[in-house]
Structure 1
Amino acid sequence: MAVSGRKGADFQSSISKGSAEDFDHRCEPCLAIGQQIESHGFCVDCQEHLCKSCFAYHQRLKANKHHHLVNKDNMDKHAVSKESDECTEKCQVHKKEVIKFFCPKHEALGCNDCIVLNHRACDIDYIPEKCAGIGDSAEFRELLRELDQKINGADNIIKQASNREKELDYCCDKLLKEITMFRKEINDRLDQLQKQIQIDADKKKSTDKQTVNKVLEQCTNISSDIKQLQSRLQDYKTSQQNGQLYITMKQAKSKLKSEEIKEADRSLEMTNMQYTFEQNQDLENILSRQDAFGKLKETTLSLKPWDIAVMPQDKIAVTMSDKKEILIMTTAGKLSTVRKFPVAGDCRGIAYHRGHLYTVCINPKCVFITDTQGKVQNTILLDNKRFDHPSYLLLSKDLRHICINNWYGHSVFSITLQGDISAEYKNKNFDCPLGMMMLDHGSLLVCCVGGIHRISAD
């Protein structure tokens, strides 16, 4: 078992001491070798707390001969406030122990006992030595950004769930009205059958609403938990409690890896049913049958078409992200499908130019350039680290650049046909950019939650 930044013998000495005693201050030279000893005095020049032995020995060294030492009663007057690398959070398993270590291999925080029992063969990070300056690190900033994205994802599901709850009410109300209208055309014998089908409808509605409400509660709690983590992160950074900041960051990273939002989305998808009442046209001849009145019919709804591109000769191209396919439809007369072809990804935004379709996808994140028959002519790969959720694209007038929105990343990118990023627009108020339009002079209009942003051509 190896501890980053410390010698093996020092680490063994540290873990052999068990829990730290309840001291106001500890001897810092002894603490560096893993010994928990109460402070007896303080060196003003070194700004270090010293135990009785270290205090007596300190001025014996030639370099320290003129250092100013004060006793324990006066040391707080001379101590300069500095960042705290001390860990105070207790271990969840060993209640009396303090969390002081992190195992990168297993991504686990732990106390002395945890490390000895479960991570002997691992390279261990000693938190007080790893957390210095962590509040100003790129890792900390990236974590805050990812937490914001997680909240946006939860909020998006909450909005979908709220809309779905209204749709459930609407569908059921429509269903009951159809039942009532149809019921007027038949005799009293159908009262019992009407009651049964209404019970079935209410039961289905109740079940789906319970699922929706559970998703609402779950995502609200997720959002609340993440906001609490954010608050703690900011508080620990402000108070320079780097040990706690390190621990909370690791806890926040664990939260980011949670599949709770995806599970909530899957649960909500299970309620994606359309309720309709199917009338029986032969009812007058079959009133004696048990199912004569009709039955409750469930229809699984496919996702709505994502985007449309206008083509020549009264044609349009429509992306169907749920089915990973593109429909070529005619607008002459009744709207109908002429042909369709598959896409090797979750297809989103689409554009047409001179016989070619440009389709942006997620999973994988790329732009497929195809002919109108679906044959791939070129694939432009997008930077996975920069693009979180590309949803729509727009071709520049000269076809030298492609504008792509980055929904969760609150930004719009301009890329070349080789996939290189040539420009990026990002703003803290640029919330979930969606549809885009390019004006004649080259500036870009972007529709966002809460308003429309205008981006200059340069």
Structure 2
Amino acid sequence: MALSGRQAESQSSPTLSRGCMEDYEIFCQPCDLVDRRLPAFGFCKDCEEHLCESCFKNHRMTKPTRYHILLDENNMPQTLRVPSEPANADQSNDLPTPCPEHKQEIIKFFCHDHETLLCNVCVTLDHTRTSCQVDYIPDISKKSLESKETLKDLEKVTERYKKATAELKEKLSKSTKSLKDVLAEIKSFRQEINQRIDELEKKAIERAKDLQKENNTILKRAEKTCNDITKSIEASSDTIKQLRDSKQAARLFIELKSAEKLIRDQEKRLLQLPSPKNVTEFCFLPSPAIISSLQEEKSLGTITHKKKELPGPPPPSVTLPRFSNQGDIYVKTPKDKEGCWVTGMVLLTPSRLVLTDSNNKSIKMVNLNSKSITDHLQLDTAPMDVTMVTNNQVAVTLSDKETVQFICAIPNKFAKKHKLKVDGYCCGISCYQEKLVVTFSNPRKVQIIDLKGKVLATITDDSEGDSLYFVAPYHVTSNSHSIYVSEARMYEVLRFNWEGEPTGRYSDLTTPRGLVMLNDGSILVSEKDNGNIQHISGDLSRGNIVLKDLSSPDAICWCGTDSILYISCFTDEDSFSNSIKMYMMLEYNNQL
């Protein structure tokens, strides 16, 4: 008669009779984990587990256990014994969670090394007992009944999330309100634009009317003169005819001689009348700057993030630089056909200044001791900016040609050298340790280039449009750790590191143009529209106006040896545009 269940197992394996206690026997430990009680047929030294005949034979068939050391029934340990009933049978129902990796398996183990919940397959494949400390969950789970720390941690995390949600809600409310303010500011800005356009229109109309008045005045004066002369000539002619008819020879002689003098005098007066050849017709040419701005601008303005106000101590007292006017240097030459527009300047030595004259498409060298032009190099296109590369070489940006031109500047003479082709309409340029930093207005960007033309880094707006850096990048200056760019239409000075990452911005400006760096790393920047020079700390945290009421200052240049600031201006008055102004710094105790 066949036996079933545990009775059959007892009769089928001699090992079941070896135990010294009735409730203990040696059985297959892996099978016991899935509630199957089979007698041990052997032992794995690596896994430290007894195995049934099937597990023993299959143990070397899988890759993870292929080279484990196996002991047969006669050599296996006889001392590893566990309760004869399945371990933690009453807890089997407490393990209902399926494995996320192996959907058909139930989580039963925990790996202490990786702090990971495991199923049978996980243990076999990735967390063997030889490599990890793995425990059967029912064996170690009783302590969890007394654990309170996890609940406390969960409560703390919950509170943090609630607090984060509340803070986010409050911040989003403020952000929404700020956007309402943005809409109001946009409308106000549009009204300001309309008002400004109205003012410009009014000025243009007044100018046209003034020219009309001038023409009318000239015409009235000319007509009156011609009428007076005509009347006197006609009167003389009538008198001559009457005397001729009446045969009064003596009076006729006198009248004829008077008429001859009258003719000579009136011919001279006729030459003084305005000639029709000198009277010009007029037409209206719209402002190129306004047309260009309307065509190039993609938006009315930029919606950007407000600066965070960080608490801190009040700023220390600052002793601002004081400047004394040292006069002007006249830089127009007989070769110049137009008024000067100096867009860039650089010092080769304390006594030699090189400048770019955009209006006259030239580069000039100035002897500062004699205040005279020592050389004048004509170019085929307008230069924008200049920087010193070596003691006797400068680099000039030629925007229309999308080129950087290198020029040798030996004592008092220029000579063209090689060129670098660049990718765009280049404007400002700065050189530091054989690296060029070049600003571009189209496309809007800043590039770091070596002297052979290799682009090392490009700074531009991010692809998502979240961070708008450039609309009209203009002048640039640099030192060992920072690059500063004047942004004329964003009304900012921006700072970047040499990897192209933004590190600061200063916004309390109006149309910034020229940039120079002082010996301590702080900078001076010209504000073209309001005629100021601002002194700004190197970290761009604060600044102060140090010069006021200049006439449209543009390019600036600093001589640290003599403490002199050179400033170019560009206005409709040649007296300003054709000269470089000099200001000496008298006092400066930088605490910016």
TM-score by length of 2: 0.30
- When Rg is computed on C-alpha atoms for both structures, the one with the higher figure is 2
Q: Could you say which structure has the higher strand fraction?
A: 2
Q: Could you say which structure has the higher helix fraction?
A: 1
